[in-house]
Amino acid sequence: MTKNDSRPTIGVIGAGSWGTALAWLLAGNGYGVHLWSFEPETADQIKRERENKTFLPGVLLPESVQPTTDLREVLDQKRMLVLAVPSHFFRGILKQIQPFLSSVRPECLWVSATKGIENETLLTMSGVLKEILDPDHHPYVGCLSGPTFAKEVSRELPTAVSLAAVEEETARKAQHFFSNAFFRVYTNNDLLGVELGGALKNVMALAAGISDGLGLGHNSRAALITRGLAEICRLGEKKGAQRPTFFGLAGIGDLVLTCTGELSRNRTVGFRLGKGESLSTILSTMTMVAEGVKTTMAANQLARREGIEMPIVSKVYAILYENSDPRSAVKDLMKRDLRAEG
């Protein structure tokens, strides 16, 4: 395969802001892309106007991005498939894909761009992929994660991310599809760690947003980020991830961005909670998914199952699902038994 071939050789499943930005990025790298949208109106709008006005307004999509609502079409003979759908839809979309797997190339790369944990099984997205896909596809599974806002990527602002896969060759091949002068991709063999870092940072972003909404200042936010990282490391290591991963792009990098960036959906939800709005009101006004809301439930279950102390996760869970008062939750965190840092 060569670049500058308008025939779709890559499929992107999910036409939200991130899926659209990745389709735009890959097309800019010279590849033809089929972009699958669940909403027919989104696909029609892209065909007519070359713009996804709902999820990524202001970004012109080239003709080499071909929108579709046909999963068979988006899978057929692709060299790489990128999955960028919300985590709670991930398994359902894969089950819809199953009947068409015979049309997928045996060596096709399967790259998850979804940051979440499945609530029912507590699996990361690569775990869900491996449950649905035939074992022959498992060596080609990876994930893309790191500190990224779709809007900034589409403005060609310098960005660095991690491409993780157990198989080095899989990571290396996917790395070359995505990389260009403003989008730098590093490979990583800690697939689980990269996925957990990308998922759990959204819970900490909710906490940081709550703190900011309460007006608790920069000291509090810095403490939440730091102690949040400690919680992520504890759970990640217990699950078998590599500690250095959490001090890289998919760990502290993504954590800092999502906890401090004005474009962060999860921080925004937390901020509004801190200001006194109800979760149901906040979610009813959002067109895009804040993954941290559902990930909080999964993270809380994982912590209990693994016997890991995650007080920030526990308090965010209480605020979201047990109607706990945000200010009282912060006071409870500060009154915990004194101990050594670690």
For position 331, what pLDDT does the model report? Answer: 87
Q: What is the pLDDT of residues 258-283, one digit of tens each?
A: 999 999 999 999 999 999 999 999 99
Q: What is the pLDDT of residues 98-157, one digit of tens each?
A: 999 999 999 999 999 999 999 999 999 999 999 999 999 999 999 999 999 999 999 999
Domain boundary assignment for the chain: 5-189, 203-334
Q: What is the pLDDT of residues 22-67, one digit of tens each?
A: 999 999 999 999 999 999 999 999 999 999 999 999 999 999 999 9
Return the CATH number of 5-189, one of 3.40.50.300, 3.40.50.720, 3.30.420.10, 3.30.1650.10.
3.40.50.720
Give the mean model confidence (pLDDT) for residues 153-171.
Answer: 98
Which are the catalytic amino acids? 201
More confident residue, 337 or 239: 239
Q: What is the pLDDT of residues 177-205, one digit of tens each?
A: 999 999 999 999 999 999 999 999 999 99
H-helix or E-strand spanning residue 281: helix 279-284
| pTM for the whole structure | 0.95
For position 8, what pLDDT does the model report? Answer: 80
Sheet holding 80-83, edge to edge: 65-68, 31-36, 5-13, 80-83, 109-112, 141-145, 159-165, 183-188
102 secondary structure, DSSP code: G
**How far is 328 from 32, CA to CA, in rounded Å?**
52
Over 159-225, what HEC string results?
Answer: EEEEEEECCHHHHHHHHHHHCCCCEEEEEECCHHHHHHHHHHHHHHHHHHHHHHHCCCHHHHHHHHH
Give the mean model confidence (pLDDT) for residues 324-335.
Answer: 90
Return the CATH number of 203-334, one of 1.10.10.10, 3.40.50.720, 1.10.1040.10, 3.90.1150.10.
1.10.1040.10
Among 186, 308, 309, 138, smallest CA distance to 240 is for: 308
For position 1, what pLDDT does the model report? Answer: 44
